[in-house]
Amino acid sequence: MDPTRNGPVRNGSTRDRPAPDGSAPDRSAGEVRVRHSDRPRLARHVRLSYSGTRQRHILLLPETVVVLNDSGAGILALCDGRRTVAEIAAELGTRYRRVPDDPVLDGEVRRFLARLVTRRCVELLDGSELPDGREHVDG
């Protein structure tokens, strides 16, 4: 299995959602739009681990190892399928003492996750869907 192949992404990826105007999504560009309400999680075949040899966090995929920088590892550690992208960005903003609702941090988180969705390392759940299939209810 090639994790970089641009195949269909399961669990509500925005690649399969209609555009805001109701038209079919454009798959020609291979672009993935990550929404604030999406709930990212690692794909089943991916593990986040720490390599003592490299002194870095890594993503373990079949026949592949991806070495992560600290910010990438921090983002992925929060991708549990329960937190939304907005909650992840807010948590990172607090952790690294950035301004709440920082558009630069938010954009970086969403671009990073979009690249990993394209590589099929991360799955996006719809904002109302929890990993066990239950509906998310605030309150």
Note if the pTM is more than 0.85.
no
Confidence of residue 15 (pLDDT cuts 50, 70, 90): very low
Whole-angstrom distance, CA of residue 122 vs CA of residue 115: 9
Contact 30, 118 (CB under 8 A): yes
pLDDT at 10 over 60: no
pLDDT at 93: 85
Share of the chain above pLDDT 90, in %: 51
- Interval 2-13 mean pLDDT: 40
**Nearest Cα to Cα of residue 43 among 115, 114, 116, 128:** 116
Share of the chain above pLDDT 70, in %: 65
- Least confident range of 44-53, 82-91, 129-138: 129-138
What would the pLDDT profile of 60-119 be if each residue is shown by its tens digit? Answer: 999 999 999 999 999 999 999 999 999 999 898 888 776 556 677 788 899 999 999 999
Contact 57, 68 (CB under 8 A): yes
- Interval 120-127 mean pLDDT: 90
Confidence of residue 44 (pLDDT cuts 50, 70, 90): very high
